[in-house]
Amino acid sequence: MPEADLRDCFHRSLSFGLYDRSSSEDTERPEANANVDELSRTPPGELVGVARCVTDHTTVAYLTDVYIWPTHQGRGLGKWLIACVQEVLVSMPYLRRSMLLTSDWERSVPFYQKMMGMELMGHKTRQAAEGGPAIMQWKGPMFPEGV
Ligand SMILES: CC(C)(COP(=O)(O)OP(=O)(O)OC[C@H]1O[C@@H](n2cnc3c(N)ncnc32)[C@H](O)[C@@H]1OP(=O)(O)O)[C@@H](O)C(=O)NCCC(=O)NCCS
C-alpha cells in the first residue's frame, strides 16, 4: 500500500504508536492526543510498534495492524501495547463489542483471550473453521442481552 494511504488508514482510526525514546534527544513531548501527521513531524522517539482500532469511538471497535518492529519483539512490548488498547476500550461506556480476525490460531487466539478477555465467535477451532480465520470478540458494557 502506498505510504500516503497507510497514513490515512491510521489517521482515520484510533491509533496507537509505541516509541523508543532511548536513542533520541529528549525533545518536547507531543500532545497526548497528537495525530499521525503531528507525530510524524515531531516524533517522540523511534517508532517501534503500532496498533489501530477502526471504530466509531462509542459502540464498536475493530482491532487490526498490531505490529512490533522485529528488533523490539519478545520484550513484553506487544503485551504492553495491547494492554494500552484494552485500557482505552474499557473506558468506552457504550461499547457493545470489540472484534478482531486472526489466522494465527496457536499464538494469537490465546494471546487475545488472555490480554483482552476476547472469546471466539462462530468456529471454536481451526479445524471447524476449515482454514479460515479465528473471529474474536470482547463484549463491552452495552453488549445486548440474549445475542
Ligand atoms: C505478535 C507481536 C505483536 C507480539 O509482540 P512482542 O512484543 O513480540 O510480544 P511480547 O514480548 O509482548 O509477548 C509475547 C507474547 O505474545 C504472544 N504472541 C502472540 N502472537 C505472537 C506472534 N505472532 N509472535 C510472537 N509472539 C506472539 C506470545 O505467545 C507471548 O505470550 P506469552 O508471554 O504468554 O508466552 C509481535 O511479535 C509482532 O508484531 N509480530 C509480527 C506481526 C504479527 O504477527 N502481528 C499480528 C499479531 S495478532
Q: What band does 39 get if pLDDT is binned at 50, 70 and 90? A: confident
Domain residues of the chain, as ranges? 3-139
Q: E strands, the chain, where?
A: 14-20, 46-55, 60-68, 97-102, 119-121, 134-139
Interval between CA 86 and ligand 1 midpoint (Å): 16
Of ligand 1's atoms, which has the minimum distance to the CA of residue 67? 39
Distance CA 111, CA 114 (A): 5
pLDDT at 22: 85
pLDDT in tens, 41-99: 778 889 999 999 999 999 999 999 999 999 999 999 999 999 999 999 999 999 999 99
Q: What band does 26 get if pLDDT is binned at 50, 70 and 90? A: low
pLDDT at 28: 64
pTM for the predicted model, two decimal places:
0.92
Q: What is the CATH number of domain 3-139?
A: 3.40.630.30
pLDDT in tens, 78-88: 999 999 999 99
- Which among 47, 71, 81, 111 is the best mutation to test ligand 1's pocket, defined by most ligand atoms within 8 Å of the CB? 111
More confident residue, 122 or 56: 56
Tell me the percentage of the chain whose pLDDT exceeds 70: 95
